[in-house]
Structure 1
Amino acid sequence: MTDEVVKQRKIEHVKLALEQDVSAPQQASWSDIRLVHQALPEVDLDDIDISTSFLGHRLRYPLFISSLTGGHPDITHINRNLARAAEEYGLALGVGSQRAAIVNPDVAGSFAVTREMAPSAFLLANVGAPQLIPQERHAPFTLEQVERAVQMIGANALAVHLNSLQEAAQPEGDRRALGEQKALAALVSQLHVPVVAKETGAGICREQALLLRSCGVAAIDVGGAGGSSMSALEAARSQLRGDQQTQAIGQLYRDWGIPTPIAVVEAHVADLPLIATGGVRTGLDVARALALGATLVGLGFPFLKAASESYEKVCELLERITRELKVAMQLSGAATSAQMRSVDVVVLGETREWLMLRGFEEDLKAMARRRWQRMHG
């Protein structure tokens, strides 16, 4: 694949995400997750502490600006606005796939701007698992190339994105996946920063979470279904190119994947820090994710949209989300982010049906009776 193709793809992704509806029409959703109201919460709203720890770093907010973009000069301003907010609010920030800058150093500035604008923020570099193995049109990335991605932004950790669905729906996608597990484990053992395994909209199940743990990853971003669909995004790109076969694949699998709330519960068995990304739109959603076991909660499209407009819009979004989160925490009786993992949460609807069939019945009962169990423990 040529440097120009990869570069062009970056700008197309951003434009299509902002101009078209590429959301996944998932049925199971955050509305299935109910926090049990505490009429006497004994928590002052203004004193709630929403800071948290992630991979040894203290963050002021349990929010993650999900790995979004870079790789084209026309979208540098988006990463600049996001990085400014990450620095100001003490957030973790991930950049989009750095493949474009690895093959074409001329666009590295669109990524490097994040560290320039956020000298003390927790930053995640980003490469794809398919690019760690030989593909039909290119050789795998070397360790030196991956380290270049980390150095490019002075990253605290590396996200390795798992995007088989996107690659299958992409006109120029890398279709091979055999050997990714071995390549990931090898990379983890050689890299000097922690590795976060990151799905890109299809979620992580229990068995895959355990497999990723065996590879040595330090954390998992479940990247569940329910937010933007990379399959739908690639279908839109295929339509622009008149590639009807690949477009059909993207449209058919638009709704494929494990919804984020389910993925958080399933992946929790790996006993690793979890990032809940996928369809999070409100502070109440953030609170629900924390109650299910997430350490950080990622937002993608809302930040992309705000950052494409201005830094001020990013700040407005953050202020709204945090206000909503604190109300949910107070009404759940939690004074800190850590206490959200011990509040009562009831799982209903299709989310409950899925988890019951997958063998999580006792886990669901325990989550719904946390306070009762402590009272009678």
Structure 2
Amino acid sequence: MADEVIKQRKLEHINVALAQSIAVAQPANWSDIHFVHQALPEVNLDEIDTRVTFFGQTLRYPLLISSMTGGHPDVISINRNLARAAEEYGIAMGVGSQRAAIINPAVSYSYAVVRECAPNAFLIANIGAPQLIEQAQHPAFSMQQVQDAIKMIEANALAVHMNSLQEAAQPEGDRRAVGEVEALKRLTQQIDRPVIAKETGAGICQEQAMLLRACGVAAIDVGGAGGSSMSAVEAARSELHGDKKTLEIGKLYSDWGIPTPIAIVEAQAAHLPLIATGGVRSGLDVARALALGANLVGMAFPFLRAASESYERVCEVLENTIREMKVAMQLSGAANIAQLHTADVVVTGATREWLTLRGFEDDLKAMAQKQRRYGHKAFLDLT
């Protein structure tokens, strides 16, 4: 019975995301992030090098198709379209929570199709932190079950998603959280793949980033507020199921969380590779995230919507995103991703206000003067 509930929930998540507005009321505020324009960039647009290395694997672009779906036969075509694009463009891809297939192996192909269609892509398996501990409705996952999730897609890495807000807003959610830290520590010590701590729309602050590092994670996906709201998704599901209590929770907390640009800056305290997801809607946003300090940048909803139509639409979204990112790179004087990391960035507005109050004022000044710090040739010629 439990496996049918989870299976149906997976389909409802997709249907709600595609049919309703689930964007968080609190914007990501990417417009607060400004590149210092280079009038003479000395960079040829068509010669920009977008390659990056992530956990030893070279990716053609610093992009991630964020974890979205699986667990129901009706989503196989979506994952197939996404995986084909990941293979074609040489980018990373994550799958949605694999809990459904761990409980019911009959739906495992909805995930396994990803490796079938992307034999060379960097793939990220996905389990939930709440499922690492005993819950009122079920026992904790065993280490063998976690290994099964990795094996299911022959994953290069494992994401452990942290979704306390979603669970609180979910009619059948797992409410317990005590013990997740110790469970995560044990997991990172026993898994032979990099473990990525992944937030799901509420962001990561500096203190939590440091805690995650102490747990032994290899990277952090900041999963900030500003894009699709899982709380809003669960509110829609609660309304569908007539659950007024969780409906109100989902609505009230639909704009909870730390916006993605802020989370990138805060999480850098852990000195771990960072993945920026949450409200990324253009190649300019991708470039902004990279300049702030992200190593990879992921999108979910734009790819989900495209993949629900066709493989060609996913490719179209990727082409547009890459083109937009390259323009931002040229105009900031960056011929490659390493140079984009050292591009001058001025942070204004609500993002600056938050970060200043949180003690990052010196970091903001340093971001605006990176070229001086790193010895940009044009600057040195004038001094």
What TM-score results when the alignment is normalised by the length of structure 2?
0.97
- Say which SS state the counterpart of residue 276 (structure 1) adopts: strand
Is 2:247 the counterpart of 1:230? no
Q: Aligned AA for 2:252?
A: L
Show the 5 A alignment for 1:23-34. 23-27=23-27, 29-34=29-34
TM-superposed CA distance for 1:53, in Å, is 1.0
Measured in 1, the distance between the counterparts of 2:275 and 2:137 equals 32
Measured in 2, the distance between the counterparts of 1:18 and 1:231 equals 15
Q: Aligned AA for 2:173?
A: G
The answer as to whether partners of 1:346 and 1:364 remain within 8 angstroms in 2 is yes
Superimposed CA distance per residue, residues 112-149 of structure 1 (whole angstroms, 9 cap, x where no aligned partner): 00000000100000000000000000000000000000
Aligned to 2:156: 156
Q: Aligned AA for 1:351?
A: T
The answer as to whether partners of 1:184 and 1:215 remain within 8 angstroms in 2 is yes
Aligned to 2:50: 50
Measured in 1, the distance between the counterparts of 2:27 and 2:306 equals 26
Aligned to 2:302: 302
Superimposed CA distance per residue, residues 271-292 of structure 1 (whole angstroms, 9 cap, x where no aligned partner): 1000000000000000000000
Measured in 2, the distance between the counterparts of 1:369 and 1:217 equals 31
The answer as to whether partners of 1:35 and 1:346 remain within 8 angstroms in 2 is yes
Moved >2 Å (runs of 4+): 372-377
Aligned to 2:344: 344
Is 2:259 the counterpart of 1:259? yes
Q: Which moved more, 1:296-305 or 1:1-10?
A: 1-10
- Say which SS state the counterpart of residue 161 (structure 2) adopts: strand
Change in CA separation of 1:207 and 1:42 when aligned onto 2, cut-off 3 Å: same
TM-superposed CA distance for 1:216, in Å, is 0.6
Measured in 2, the distance between the counterparts of 1:199 and 1:346 equals 26
Aligned to 1:107: 107
Show the 5 A alignment for 1:1-377. 2-27=2-27, 29-373=29-373, 374=375, 375=379
Measured in 2, the distance between the counterparts of 1:347 and 1:102 equals 43
TM-superposed CA distance for 1:372, in Å, is 2.8
Measured in 2, the distance between the counterparts of 1:56 and 1:119 equals 16
The answer as to whether partners of 1:227 and 1:278 remain within 8 angstroms in 2 is yes
TM-superposed CA distance for 1:370, in Å, is 1.0
TM-superposed CA distance for 1:371, in Å, is 1.3
Measured in 2, the distance between the counterparts of 1:249 and 1:166 equals 10
- Say which SS state the counterpart of residue 297 (structure 1) adopts: strand
Measured in 1, the distance between the counterparts of 2:245 and 2:114 equals 37
TM-superposed CA distance for 1:17, in Å, is 0.1
TM-superposed CA distance for 1:24, in Å, is 0.4
Superimposed CA distance per residue, residues 17-39 of structure 1 (whole angstroms, 9 cap, x where no aligned partner): 00000110114510000011000
Q: Which runs of 5+ in 1 are unaligned?
A: none
Measured in 2, the distance between the counterparts of 1:224 and 1:359 equals 19
Q: Aligned AA for 1:94?
A: G
Measured in 1, the distance between the counterparts of 2:190 and 2:338 equals 32
Measured in 2, the distance between the counterparts of 1:275 and 1:293 equals 9
Q: Aligned AA for 1:243?
A: D
- Say which SS state the counterpart of residue 136 (structure 1) adopts: coil
TM-superposed CA distance for 1:55, in Å, is 1.2
Measured in 2, the distance between the counterparts of 1:25 and 1:372 equals 38
Q: Aligned AA for 1:211?
A: L
Q: Aligned AA for 1:144?
A: Q
- Say which SS state the counterpart of residue 309 (structure 1) adopts: coil
Measured in 1, the distance between the counterparts of 2:3 and 2:24 equals 30
The answer as to whether partners of 2:71 and 2:98 remain within 8 angstroms in 1 is yes
Measured in 1, the distance between the counterparts of 2:97 and 2:186 equals 20
The answer as to whether partners of 1:55 and 1:218 remain within 8 angstroms in 2 is no
Measured in 2, the distance between the counterparts of 1:315 and 1:252 equals 36
Superimposed CA distance per residue, residues 245-294 of structure 1 (whole angstroms, 9 cap, x where no aligned partner): 10000000000000000000000111100000000000000000000000
- Say which SS state the counterpart of residue 6 (structure 1) adopts: helix
Measured in 1, the distance between the counterparts of 2:132 and 2:158 equals 13
The answer as to whether partners of 2:136 and 2:174 remain within 8 angstroms in 1 is yes
Superimposed CA distance per residue, residues 213-240 of structure 1 (whole angstroms, 9 cap, x where no aligned partner): 0011000000000000000000000000
- Say which SS state the counterpart of residue 217 (structure 1) adopts: coil
- Say which SS state the counterpart of residue 64 (structure 2) adopts: strand
Measured in 2, the distance between the counterparts of 1:274 and 1:368 equals 20
Measured in 2, the distance between the counterparts of 1:194 and 1:176 equals 25
Superimposed CA distance per residue, residues 93-112 of structure 1 (whole angstroms, 9 cap, x where no aligned partner): 00000000000000000000
Query: Matched residue pairs, number?
Result: 377
Percentage of identical aligned residues: 70
- Say which SS state the counterpart of residue 137 (structure 1) adopts: coil
Measured in 2, the distance between the counterparts of 1:25 and 1:156 equals 34
Q: Aligned AA for 2:57?
A: H
Measured in 2, the distance between the counterparts of 1:371 and 1:187 equals 41
